């Protein structure tokens, strides 16, 4: 089993730098766009960058971006012994998925899982099967409801923190990308572009890092995730920049729009997580839904007013 994992990982490293990112499009009738994921999605910087960018590039679109990422969550249903000092097991997406889909009624889904799904242990075939089974179950659910779904491969885990777990994430990402060709899944690869960027930077600066803990990306890491996602849905302008600050200072109104989008996402995320329910203790309780939606409308009016100023320039 170890040999198989290493071989899969080696093929991934050899193949994917040579392949272009597959590109998809968000249908014009897709208004409600749901993001599912773990603590990286819950933190939400990459979603803020994606939403802000798309609103700037396509101000005519009537988007609604909904972040329902949940810290500690897996798609595999696995949890390591003593997780969170034994306070609670990792939540399973499938415990809440039906409630989320029924309440939100999304037109489109982005899903980003994998970071927690190997539960921070070396490669194991049974854990890999659980990850694959969980992703297949998610795809089947989306298909049954007729909701387009794009899977995002897991972000990079820092090799210097744990080489064994870094290889687990690479294997999971490799398998996910292979589903494009074996099952016709929609998949955007975040993992390899982040890994390549990290390795290139360390050629001249061995101490360079995208995370402080090996797991959670900082500002630049979230931008690299957003950049790959945007490239994967056919965007191209300003994506050569390596830092979000560069992009949003370059685009008129970008730095003014970012905080409005960030606040809107935070308010609606907390409210929807509270409203739909979950098994992850310790999260901040969201506003009652009517109050959250009222605040969202205020922020959307501010966003629309700001974007209208751009049209008049």
Rounded Cα gap, residues 103 and 220, in angstroms:
33
Does residue 94 fall inside a structural domain? yes
Q: Which residues span the domain enclosing 222?
A: 2-248
Residue 111 lies in a domain: yes
CATH number for the domain that contains residue 144: 3.40.50.1110
Domain membership of residue 254 (yes or no) is: no
In a domain, 85, yes or no: yes
In tens, the pLDDT along 247-300 reads: 999 999 999 999 999 999 999 999 999 999 999 999 999 999 999 999 999 999
| Average pLDDT of span 31-57 | 98
Instruction: Give the mean pLDDT of 39-43.
Output: 98
State percent of the chain over pLDDT 90: 90
Q: Which pTM value belongs to this model?
A: 0.93
Total structural domains within the chain: 1
For residue 50, CA distances in Å to 147, 209, 246, 277 come to 20, 22, 15, 26
Say how far apart CA 281 and CA 166 lie, in whole Å: 28
Q: Is residue 313 part of a domain?
A: no
- Tens of pLDDT, residue by residue over 154-184, are 999 999 999 999 999 999 999 999 999 999 9
Say if 264 falls within a structural domain: no
Task: Name beta bridge partners: 112.
Answer: 37, 152
Q: Report pLDDT digits (tens) over 60-94.
A: 999 999 999 999 999 999 999 999 999 999 999 99
Residue 129 resides in a domain: yes
Please indicate, yes or no, if residue 160 is contained in any of the structural domains: yes
User: What angle, rounded to 10 degrees, do the helices at 45-57 and 289-312 form?
Assistant: 40
Question: Which of 60-64, 107-111, 145-149, 294-298 has the lowest average pLDDT?
Answer: 60-64
| DSSP codes joined into one string, 69-110 | --TT-BSS----TTGGGGT-PPPBHHHHHHHHHHHH--SEEE
């Amino acid at each position: 089993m170890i040999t198989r994992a290493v071989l899969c990982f080696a093929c991934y490293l050899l193949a994917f730098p040579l392949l272009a990112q597959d590109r998809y499009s968000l249908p014009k009738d897709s208004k409600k766009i749901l993001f599912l994921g773990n603590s990286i999605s819950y933190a939400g910087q990459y979603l803020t960058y994606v939403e802000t960018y798309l609103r700037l590039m396509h101000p005519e679109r009537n988007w609604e971006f909904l972040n329902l990422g949940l810290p500690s969550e897996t798609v595999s249903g696995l949890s390591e012994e003593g997780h969170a000092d034994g306070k609670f097991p990792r939540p399973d997406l499938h415990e809440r998925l039906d409630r989320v889909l029924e309440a939100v009624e999304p037109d489109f889904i982005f899903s980003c899982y994998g970071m927690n799904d190997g539960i921070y242990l070396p490669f194991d075939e049974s854990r890999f099967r659980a990850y694959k089974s969980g992703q297949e179950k998610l795809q089947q659910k989306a298909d049954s409801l007729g909701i387009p779904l794009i899977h995002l491969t897991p972000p990079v885990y820092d090799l210097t923190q744990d080489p064994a777990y870094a290889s687990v994430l690479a294997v999971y990402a490799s398998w996910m990308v292979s589903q494009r060709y074996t099952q016709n899944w929609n998949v955007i690869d975040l993992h390899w572009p982040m890994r390549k960027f990290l390795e290139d930077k360390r050629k001249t600066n061995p101490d360079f890092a995208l995370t402080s803990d090996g797991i959670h990306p900082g500002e630049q890491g979230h931008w690299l995730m957003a950049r790959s996602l945007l490239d994967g849905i056919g965007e191209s302008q300003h994506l050569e920049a390596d830092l979000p600050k560069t992009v949003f200072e370059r685009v008129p109104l970008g730095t003014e729009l970012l905080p409005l989008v960030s606040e809107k996402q935070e308010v609606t995320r907390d409210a929807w997580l509270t409203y739909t329910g979950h098994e992850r203790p310790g999260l901040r309780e969201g506003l009652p839904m009517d109050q959250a939606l009222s605040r969202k409308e205020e922020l959307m009016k501010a966003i629309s007013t700001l974007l209208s100023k751009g049209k008049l320039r």
